[in-house]
């Protein structure tokens, strides 16, 4: 269409303004930007496998399971806004440091000189994300590969010829997506039941399903879906599963992704995102029952929710002694944290996205309304916490009662005394460094701990010979 010339109209507009308007109007038709990062990293990883001579060993490691996008423009503004309260935050940090220093004597004494080493028992797995055991006295470990397979393996690293389960045709596995979690029913030896958490191909939804193993193999067609949770973004899929001391299935869910929890899922009592869920998989109700002692069974949130306010609880574990739950929750811009949920003490908020670590994320938050982390650390020491386990084996007495966890980016491994964690006075002590990308810890039936390295290795955690 022709446009008549008039003052202030297009024809009288200066060149630079006309150019800016023209391109902005055209580009503004794009309302969404695809997040290609997971696909890019997946493609690069495939290249590394196909053309290994072009990549050194470090660069073969694919994208991390819980990586974070850079802050969006919105969160950048938020950061600038928060500069105004930085003095208050610094004061809190100083207070915490002073508090920690005063409490450090016990941990420092008990953990003094403790160092752990990592003995490789096998390698060659395809992006492993988890190792665990079934509690059936079989001496078997199970390695979960992000692309969708679960492999039985002997304690000395001999892999079975066929997987326990192969979901690779049905799993979206890139970036933080994939087959992420596995937990065996407490009576697995009798009933063969086990549960998985994976990202469904196609729509990217998180699915928690049950399978039954018969003679070491589960039929793909025998899937029983318990939960299907839509994911608004590609990242922060949580993925951890475990049974608690009462035999209830715990499910860790991320806040749905992007950055800063734009949908407010962490504090949304109607959303299953950003939560620790607790399901009764032995109830008569289908697909699961609600445990009567769930944190919100009496109201206040959806009844399957046991705790709220999590951002991306990539890995959590249940202490076989005492039953407390230890949650490694990946932070946004400033703090990584470990939180403790004592046995039978659901109904708590761990803060996100009102609180990140020990400090407000949203200006003017009420810190007293949320359970503070048992431990936290800043970005100067790492970028992604990998929640660990309390050592309860017998082969390495120096580790008894030590909660061992680490960081994906720096490979630092810390120890903390579990009694102090529960009491809220814990201090973390660096006890080792892993070479490679730590993504998970797991325990065998005897309580021995293993570290999973994203490049494909499974490593036994041992005390360093003095």
Partner 1 sequence: MTGTTFAPGEPADATLVEAARRGDLYAWERLVRRHQEAVHRVSWLVVRDSDLAEAATLSTFVRAYRALPSYEQELGMLPWLIRIAAGESRQQRRESGRPTRSSRPVERDQGPHFPATALPGLAQAVGLSLLERQAVSEAFDRLGEEDRLVIATRYLFGLSRSDAANALSMASGLVEDNLSSALVRLRARMAAG
Q: Which residues of the shown chain bind partner 1 in the complex (CB under 8 A)?
A: 1-3, 8-11, 15-41, 43-44, 47, 55-56, 58-59, 61-64, 67, 69-73, 75-76, 79-80, 175, 203-204, 233-235, 257-258, 333, 383, 409
Contact 234, 204 (CB under 8 A): yes
The nearest distance, CB 62 to partner 1, in angstroms, is: 7
- Which helix H or strand E contains 19, and what residues bound it? helix 15-27
The nearest distance, CB 344 to partner 1, in angstroms, is: 37
Q: For partner 1, give the closer residue by CB, 63 or 209.
A: 63
Residue 105, helix vs strand vs coil: helix
Q: For partner 1, give the closer residue by CB, 1 or 221.
A: 1
The nearest distance, CB 342 to partner 1, in angstroms, is: 34
User: Cβ contacts of residue 209 below 8 Å, gap of 6+?
Assistant: 195, 196, 198, 223, 224, 225, 226
User: Cβ contacts of residue 213 below 8 Å, gap of 6+?
Assistant: 164, 165, 188, 192, 193, 194
Q: For partner 1, give the closer residue by CB, 28 or 285.
A: 28
The nearest distance, CB 18 to partner 1, in angstroms, is: 7
The nearest distance, CB 115 to partner 1, in angstroms, is: 26
Q: For partner 1, give the closer residue by CB, 258 or 412.
A: 258
In this structure, the strands spanning 179-184 and 348-349 are: unpaired
359 by Cβ neighbours in 10 Å (0-12 / 13-18 / 19+) ranks as: buried
Contact 145, 456 (CB under 8 A): no
The nearest distance, CB 128 to partner 1, in angstroms, is: 16
Residue 235, helix vs strand vs coil: coil
| CA 334/CA 79 separation, integer angstroms | 10
Q: For partner 1, give the closer residue by CB, 69 or 287.
A: 69
Look at the alpha carbons of 325, 326, 330, 332 in this order and tell me if their dihedral is positive or negative. positive
Q: For partner 1, give the closer residue by CB, 38 or 192.
A: 38
| CA 90/CA 281 separation, integer angstroms | 45
Q: For partner 1, give the closer residue by CB, 59 or 123.
A: 59
The nearest distance, CB 256 to partner 1, in angstroms, is: 11
The nearest distance, CB 104 to partner 1, in angstroms, is: 28
Tell me the residue ranges of DSSP E strands in 90-205: 116-122, 128-133, 140-145, 149-154, 165-166, 179-184, 193-199
Tell me the residue ranges of DSSP E strands in 202-279: 206-214, 217-218, 224-229, 241-243, 249-252, 275-279
| CA 153/CA 122 separation, integer angstroms | 10
The nearest distance, CB 50 to partner 1, in angstroms, is: 12
Q: For partner 1, give the closer residue by CB, 257 or 388.
A: 257
The single-letter DSSP state of residue 405 is: E
The nearest distance, CB 288 to partner 1, in angstroms, is: 26
The nearest distance, CB 24 to partner 1, in angstroms, is: 3
Largest separation between any pair of C-alpha atoms in the chain: 87
Calculate the CA 406 to chain-centre distance.
12
| CA 303/CA 299 separation, integer angstroms | 7
Q: For partner 1, give the closer residue by CB, 64 or 387.
A: 64
Q: For partner 1, give the closer residue by CB, 38 or 291.
A: 38
Q: For partner 1, give the closer residue by CB, 174 or 317.
A: 174
């Amino acid at each position: 269409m022709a446009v008549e010339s008039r003052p202030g109209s297009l024809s009288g507009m200066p060149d630079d303004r006309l150019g800016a308007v023209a391109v902005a109007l055209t580009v503004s038709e794009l309302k969404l930007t695809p997040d290609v990062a997971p696909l890019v990293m997946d493609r690069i990883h495939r290249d590394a496998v196909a053309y290994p001579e072009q990549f050194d060993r470090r660069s073969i490691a694919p994208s991390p399971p819980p990586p974070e996008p850079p802050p969006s423009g919105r969160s950048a503004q938020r950061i600038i806004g928060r500069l105004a309260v930085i003095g208050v935050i610094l004061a809190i940090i100083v207070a915490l440091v002073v508090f920690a220093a005063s409490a450090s004597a016990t941990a420092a004494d008990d953990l003094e000189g403790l160092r752990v080493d990592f003995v490789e028992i096998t390698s060659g797995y395809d992006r492993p994300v988890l190792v665990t055991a079934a509690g059936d006295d079989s001496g078997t470990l199970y390695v979960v590969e992000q692309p969708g397979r679960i492999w039985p393996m002997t304690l000395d690293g001999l892999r079975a010829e066929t997987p326990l389960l192969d979901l690779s045709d049905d799993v979206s596995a890139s970036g933080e997506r994939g087959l992420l979690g596995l937990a065996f029913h407490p009576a697995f030896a009798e009933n063969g039941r086990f549960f998985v958490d994976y990202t469904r191909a196609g729509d990217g939804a998180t699915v928690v399903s049950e399978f039954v193993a018969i003679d070491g193999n589960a039929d793909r067609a025998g899937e029983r879906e318990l939960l299907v949770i839509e994911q608004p973004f590609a990242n922060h899929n949580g993925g951890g599963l475990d049974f608690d001391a009462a035999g209830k299935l715990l499910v860790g869910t991320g806040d749905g992704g992007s950055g800063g929890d734009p949908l407010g899922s962490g504090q949304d009592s109607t959303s299953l995102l950003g939560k620790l869920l607790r399901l009764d998989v032995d109830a008569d109700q289908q697909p699961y029952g609600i445990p009567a002692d769930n944190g919100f069974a009496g109201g206040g949130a959806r009844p399957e929710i046991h705790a709220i306010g999590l951002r991306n609880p990539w890995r959590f574990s249940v202490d076989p002694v005492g039953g407390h739950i230890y949650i490694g929750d990946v932070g946004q811009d400033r703090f990584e944290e470990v939180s403790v949920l004592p046995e039978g003490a659901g109904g708590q908020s761990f803060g996100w996205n009102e609180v990140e670590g020990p400090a407000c994320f949203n200006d003017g938050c009420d810190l007293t309304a949320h359970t503070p982390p048992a431990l936290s650390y800043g970005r100067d020491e790492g970028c992604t916490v990998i929640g660990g386990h309390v050592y309860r084996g017998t082969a390495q007495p120096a580790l008894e009662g030590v909660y061992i966890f680490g960081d994906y980016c720096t490979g630092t491994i810390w120890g903390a005394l579990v009694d102090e964690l529960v009491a809220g006075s814990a201090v973390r002590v660096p006890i080792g460094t892993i070479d490679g990308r730590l993504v998970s810890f797991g325990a065998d039936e005897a309580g021995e701990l293993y570290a999973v390295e994203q490049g494909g290795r499974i490593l036994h955690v041992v005390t360093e010979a003095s």
